[in-house]
Structure formats: C-alpha cells, structure tokens
Amino acid sequence: MKISRTQVEAVLRSYRGRPQEPDGRKGTTFSSALLEESELLDTLRRRAGDAPAVRDETVARLRELVARNEYTVTADEIADLLLRRLIADSLE
C-alpha cells in the first residue's frame, strides 16, 4: 500500500489539537511521531529513486556467466521471481 504525502498531511491535520490520544499522549505528540515517520518515508523514497535502474556490475557479471554457459536458473527460481514481480506490481 502506498501512502501519499497528502494523505499523511491530512492525518496530521486531523490529529493536531486533539486533547488526548487513547494511550494518554497529547495529540501534538502523536502528530509529531507521524510527521517524523512521514519524513523518514520521504527520505527512503528519495534514496530508492536515486538507485540506478540497472546495476551495471551485476549485468556485466551475468553476461560473463551466460557467455561461458555457466549461468543456470531452476524452474522454481523462475517461478518464485515471477510470483514476486506479480505481487509487487499488484501493490503499486
């Protein structure tokens, strides 16, 4: 599930100024924790976005293995990766 910055800000607005949360904390403390988590998520998204789409070293290593006919993948490994990709795509 993806949560947008707008959604996080809407939650923060709804909790600001609340007299007290169920666990006894004031609304602003809870809001501060949500804001910190939101900022952390933003940082992680930026770092993930900065990662290269293609890992050149990995591609080069795999090409060498294929060229030497030393790269093998089992049917189970292929099925596992296909299912993982299917699940990841459904979450987007």
Task: Provide the 10 A C-beta neighbour count for residue 31.
Answer: 20
Average pLDDT over residues 52-63: 89
Task: Provide the 10 A C-beta neighbour count for residue 43.
Answer: 10
Contact 73, 62 (CB under 8 A): no
C-alpha distances in Å from residue 18, one per residue of 8, 13, 32, 64: 17, 10, 13, 61
pLDDT (tens digit per residue) in 62-88? 999 999 999 999 999 999 999 998 988
List the domain boundaries for the chain.
1-51, 54-92
Report d(CA 85, CA 78) in Å as an integer.
11
pTM of the shown model? 0.36
